[in-house]
């Protein structure tokens, strides 16, 4: 069983969110006694800007106090991710892609020299040995289809920073057949292996 879990909720909805419900169920099954850090993105995250980029590409020992403050949230988000054995992400598909707040989270944690590095053989993720489960909810987009630009993107980003064990639980196409979709997702949760 995982000891430390990072739960990321990307749904703008706090009530009636299918992705939040799936995340609840995944955690109840796999990590009922784990220490869970919750990162709720419902209110968004700051977007990276020129000051952030400059601070990020300044050597840590040379950063000014203002630059350290600029990166403080990013450092916290990276620390949450680094500490977790299991990452559970509630991913609603908005307009075929990830919610803007989740993209902002990705931009804050994908940092060269911190969560990945470039080598002569190409990029290398530094956050290895972790497992991620992505709880997908969509109204009309079929998870994994050619119009789903969310799950493949998130799987790629996680792999890029070293998290290659990524599983997807999908309650997709809810507007077409919610009952069947929810039953399918529930069955997927029930078959997730515990460790």
Please indicate if the annotation marks 11 as binding a ligand: yes
Structure-token pair, residue 99 = 């919610």
Q: Which residues contact 106 (CB under 8 A, 6 or more apart)?
A: 98, 157
State the CB neighbour count (10 A cutoff) for residue 184.
15
DSSP string, 87-111: EEEEEE-BTTB--HHHHHHHHHH--
Residue 18 is labelled as binding a ligand = yes
| DSSP secondary structure letter of residue 47 | P
Q: Decide the pairing of beta strands 131-137 and 86-92.
A: parallel
* 191/25 Cα distance (integer angstroms): 12
**Residues making up the binding site for FMN:** 11, 17-19
């Amino acid at each position: 069983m995982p000891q430390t879990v990072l739960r990321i909720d990307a749904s703008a909805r706090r009530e009636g969110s299918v992705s939040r419900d799936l995340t609840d169920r995944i955690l109840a099954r796999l990590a009922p006694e784990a220490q869970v850090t919750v990162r709720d993105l419902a209110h968004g995250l700051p977007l990276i800007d020129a000051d952030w980029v400059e601070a990020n590409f300044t050597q840590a020992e040379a950063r000014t106090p203002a630059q350290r403050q600029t990166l403080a949230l990013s450092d916290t988000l990276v620390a949450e991710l680094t500490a977790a054995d299991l990452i559970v992400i509630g991913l609603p598909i908005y307009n075929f892609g990830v919610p803007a707040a989740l993209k902002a989270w990705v931009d804050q944690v994908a940092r060269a020299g911190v969560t990945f590095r470039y080598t002569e053989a190409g990029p290398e993720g530094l956050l290895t040995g972790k497992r991620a489960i992505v709880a997908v909810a969509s109204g009309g987009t079929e998870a994994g289809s050619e119009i789903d630009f969310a799950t493949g993107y998130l799987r790629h980003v996680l792999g890029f920073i070293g998290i290659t064990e990524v599983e997807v639980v999908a309650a997709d196409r809810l507007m077409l057949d919610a009952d069947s979709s929810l039953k399918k997702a529930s069955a997927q949760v029930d078959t997730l292996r515990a460790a």
